[in-house]
């Protein structure tokens, strides 16, 4: 036959869709690595779902710390208005979403 099918070597894509998909995966992996470096103890976790779960737990912990420290600061200095803090952190939206689910 006049047509000869050339198979790419393992790990080497040939069509633009495969190349774009590989670039997308590499970008996601690079960002996941950056997130893993930012979250303490996350480098020991493997698997995307577990890493994301660890990151979510860490961010929620940070939100709780901010809320606690804001209450403490408001107790020490009641003249400072922290009413806008919930809007800034999105804590009202978060609690509404949790109740809806």
Number of domains comprising the chain: 1
Query: Nearest CA to 57 among 43, 40, 71?
Result: 40
Identify whether 50 is part of a domain: yes
Q: What is the pTM of this model?
A: 0.59
Residue pair 55/42 in contact (Cβ under 8 Å)? The answer is yes
Residue 15: pLDDT band (50, 70, 90) is confident
Identify whether 4 is part of a domain: no
Residue 58: pLDDT band (50, 70, 90) is very high
Identify whether 3 is part of a domain: no
Alpha-helical (H) ranges within 1-101 are 16-38, 48-76, 85-89, 91-100
Say which residues have a Cβ less than 8 Å from residue 94's Cβ, sequence separation at least 6: 63
């Amino acid at each position: 036959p006049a047509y000869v099918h050339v198979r790419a070597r393992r790990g080497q894509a040939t069509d633009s869709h495969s190349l774009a998909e590989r670039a997308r995966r590499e970008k996601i992996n690079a960002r996941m690595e950056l997130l893993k470096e930012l979250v303490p103890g996350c480098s020991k976790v493997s698997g995307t779902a577990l890493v994301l779960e660890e990151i979510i737990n860490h961010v929620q912990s940070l939100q709780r710390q901010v809320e606690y420290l804001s209450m403490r600061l408001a107790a020490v200095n009641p003249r400072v208005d922290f009413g806008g803090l919930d809007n800034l952190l999105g804590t009202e939206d978060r609690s509404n979403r949790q109740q809806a689910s």
